[in-house]
Amino acid sequence: MRIGVCPGSFDPVTNGHLDIFSRASKMFDVLIVAVFHNPNKKPLFTMEERVEMLNLATYDIPNIKVDSFSGLLNDYVRRQNSSFIVRGLRALSDFEYEFQRALLIKKIDPAIETIFMMTSSEYSFISSSGIKELAKFGGPITGLVPVCLEDKIIQRISES
């Protein structure tokens, strides 16, 4: 069985993320979308909320499993019986950052491969931080995030 792991903070999940999940899911028997606990970030949503939101947003992609983890990514990938990491890229700056991370993981565990996928051009400008900023100032997020999560995102932004 071919298992891929697509890690990220997904705070919140965007349509750009969904684009990568949908396309990557066709490459694997199972694609694990894994919410990473990053101690250096202050997320808007809890880990449990992000897992729940991802489950809602990916309900129609049958081979996606949503999970969460903390610690080293290569250890998590191995625990999932995988050797593939899927990373979505929007711009050259994403590539530089992700390339360095992929090389570090390759140094630690040479059997793990990182697959870079370019997001579709219609989503290349979307980021979770941009969504939060747009919503904070009352801007429209329709078409940028899954419809089923729009109200939840707007409500959380208004509470913070």
Which residues have a catalytic role annotated?
A: 17, 41, 90, 128
41 annotated to bind ligand? yes
105 annotated to bind ligand? no
What values do phi and psi take at 144, rounded to 5?
A: -105, -25
127 annotated to bind ligand? yes
134 annotated to bind ligand? no
22 annotated to bind ligand? no
| DSSP category for residue 92 | H
65 Cβ contact partners less than 8 Å away, ≥ 6 residues apart: 30, 31, 32, 33
For residues 100-127, b (16+ Cβ closer than 10 Å) or e, as one string?
A: eebeebeeeeeebebeebebeeebeebb
Q: Name residue 31's beta-bridge partners.
A: 4, 64
131 annotated to bind ligand? no
69 annotated to bind ligand? no
User: Directed axis angle between helix 150-159 and helix 128-136, to 10°?
Assistant: 60
87 annotated to bind ligand? yes
Q: Where is the binding site for substrate, in residues?
A: 9, 41, 73, 87
Q: Where is the binding site, in residues?
A: 9-10, 17, 41, 73, 87-90, 98, 123-129
Q: Where is the binding site for ATP, in residues?
A: 9-10, 17, 88-90, 98, 123-129
